[in-house]
Amino acid sequence: NLYPMSKLPKIQILLALLLSGCITQPVNDPSQPSELEQVAQRIESIEKNISLKIASSCDASIKKLDQKIEDLRKAKETTKVVERCSNKKVKKSLGNKLLLGAVERVRLSNEALILNARIDTGAETSSIGVFNLKPFERDGDNWVRFSLNNKKNARVYEYPVFDKVKIKQSGSITDDRIEIKMNIQIGDKKYKKQIFNLANRSFLDYRLLIGRSFLRDIAIVDVSRKYLIKLK
């Protein structure tokens, strides 16, 4: 026998209705893309943007390279090739001047010595490296005594002092030096009473340096060459 509904409590009736009712399930809309499809679309869009940027960057780089190539081509067309003058032409233009290289053989006439000399257009004065330098007086005048090598029993040379000068070194450093006058020979030409300051050049490659004070109006220097003058 069924229990009459009217006899059931109201709360039980409500529960029965809820349990017996249909639970609706969400229905996917076929017109809307799934989450996976949305991710795929986003990736595809990013790839397209990257490809476009790379292509644009490559085009710009290619244009720059093309421009550089064109500039180089124009520069090549406008560059003139200058041939080195022959020795005969150089000799004609020198007149009575010497054509010296960066290094030349120089004879110290009084000392009967031949030294390799650095021809230095950057130095104002000429210099010679000496050892055992000792100033002294002779008949009330200032003299100096020195040797030209540091060997035992080296020959000693004596000269009257011409002047005392300050030679500016690198930066603000100055060096007090004594000047003397020496006779030298380059090639077949002799030059008397040329001014040289006495220095410590033991740490340098050349003990003798010829500066602008000697070279001015006497020589032209080709710093790319050496030993252009034959010492006679």
pLDDT given for residue 92 in this prediction: 45
Compute the mean pLDDT over every residue in the chain, rounded to the nearest whole number. Answer: 80
Instruction: Give the residue, 153 or 78, on which the prediction is more confident.
Output: 153
Residue 147 — pLDDT band, cuts 50, 70, 90? very high
Q: Which two tokens stand for residue 37?
A: 């499809």
Which of 31-45, 102-116, 121-135, 196-210 has the lowest average pLDDT? 31-45
Average pLDDT over residues 84-108: 72
Which pLDDT belongs to residue 83? 41
Asked whether residue 13 carries a pLDDT value surpassing 70, the answer given is no
What integer is the mean pLDDT of 96-116?
93
**169-225 pLDDT tens trace:** 666 677 889 999 999 999 999 999 999 999 988 788 899 999 999 998 889 999 999
The mean per-residue pLDDT over the stretch 27-31 comes to: 56
Give the per-residue SS3 of the chain.
Answer: CCCCHHHCCHHHHHHHHHHHCCCCCCCCCCCCCCHHHHHHHHHHHHHHHHHHHHHHHHHHHHHHHHHHHHHHHHHHHHCCCCCCCCHHHHHHHHCCCEEEECEEEEEECCCCEEEEEEECCCCCCEEEECEEEEEEEECCEEEEEEECCCCCCCCEEEEECCEEEEEECCCCCEEEEEEEEEEEEECCEEEEEEEEEEECCCCCCCCEEECHHHHCCCEEEECCCCCCCCCC
Give pLDDT tens digits for 50-85.
888 888 888 888 888 888 787 776 655 444 444 444
CA distance 46 to 71: 38
